[in-house]
Amino acid sequence: MKVVSFFNHKGGVGKTTLLFNVGVALAGLGRRVLFVDADPQANLTGTALAAQDYQSALDSGQTIYDALLPVIRTTGEPLTPEPVQIRESAWLIPGHILLSEYEESLAGGWSDTLAGRYPGFQRTTALWRIINAAVSAVAADVVLIDVGPSVGALNRVVILSSDGFVVPLSPDLFSLTALPSVGRAVSTWIGEWHAAVAQAERTGVATQISGGLPAGRPSPVGYISQQFASYRSAPATAFKRWLEQIPGAYEREVVEQLRGAGVTIPVPAGQIGTVRNLSSLVPMAQEANAAIFELSGAEARGAQYVRARDTLVDFRSLASEIESRIAQV
């Protein structure tokens, strides 16, 4: 089983849409996929579940917030969630806007973790233990975690709980300027985590954590560039110059930073693939709680339907490449 997060400090890069479509494509290839919505905005949940199904999950306490509630309130260990089945071989731990309460609790928890204290490790590993319990419940082969666009405390524990992370990018200046913060943040988190674990091992705290500790060496799986217009299947000139700068910037700001932190770098380590601007197909798919390639002829008509069906090849290619790279770590 592998855990992969889709992570970028910059918002508006189509991260959630990309993750959901890649995950459904993986499920279509026969993998058992567990989606985890670790973004307080719960966009992945809104994409995957109809409103009435989400309300049912809220009423029955199936969200990630419900599982974390004992930890947030310091009343006990995290609960084992019951993932919501969304496809024949795909499940979701729904998000919740109150997940921000867990992030608030992580500030003091991280200080305790760095000092090697039990309360800090109990709090910072809670999400990892929830995911492991859910994986066992559904026999998942792969976990895909959606996070918000930040380098805050919540994303720190998500990334440290992951085997690797994918960076979705738009071909623009803002995505390029976000790359250094991604590389620096993850590198810093890794260094701090392993110093804390060493301290916990010296004091015996490490053996007290139920379920053990995450490895804390997330690999940079690669990046996916998307949201550019095209002319006769070639990138539009306005975006081409940014596309040409991304490989060097990613290698320099992310790969080299993490190589220095001692993580495994997959081969190849750069671009996983590209996704063209899918324009009106995205809101159609969100309305239908479907992957783009699952849209029916009634939901997308004529040329739009053909475009939607054609994306299956693209997303399966991305899914297979991610699977190949994460298998190396």
Q: Which helix H or strand E contains 323, and what residues bound it?
A: helix 303-326
Least confident of 10-24, 29-43, 153-167, 206-220: 10-24
Just give the CATH number of 2-326.
3.40.50.300
Give the closest residue to 168 by CA, choosing from 184, 152, 144: 144
Beta strands 2-6 and 142-146, pairing class = parallel
| pLDDT per residue as tens digits for the range 82-127 | 999 999 999 999 999 999 999 999 988 899 999 999 999 999 999 9
Strands 230-231 and 271-275: unpaired
241 pLDDT band (50/70/90 cuts)? confident
Average per-residue pLDDT in the chain?
Answer: 93
CB hemisphere CA count around 59 (13 angstroms): 6
Tokens of 284: 């159609």
- Residue 6 makes CB contacts below 8 A (sequence gap 6+) with 15, 16, 18, 19, 144, 145, 146, 147, 165, 166, 167, 168
For residue 124, which amino acid is it?
Answer: T
Res. 254 pLDDT band, cuts 50 70 90 = very high
Between the CA of residue 243 and those of 8, 19, 173, 177, 221, what are the distances in Å? 17, 21, 10, 13, 18
The residue to which tokens 């699952």 are assigned: 294
Mean local confidence (pLDDT), 165-193: 93
Question: Are 311 and 69 in contact, with CB atoms under 8 Å apart?
Answer: no
pLDDT for position 276: 81
Give this prediction's pTM.
0.95
Name which of 143, 113, 146, 151 is nearest 254 in CA terms.
151
Residue 232: pLDDT band with limits 50, 70, 90: very low
**pLDDT number for residue 260:** 94
CA 140 to chain CA centroid, Å, is 15
- Joined together, the tokens standing for residue 252 give 């320099």
Residue 214 pLDDT exceeds 60: yes
Domain ranges of the chain: 2-326
Q: What percent of the chain has pLDDT over 90?
A: 81
230 pLDDT higher than 60:
no
Q: Name the pLDDT band for 323 (thresholds 50, 70, 90).
A: very high
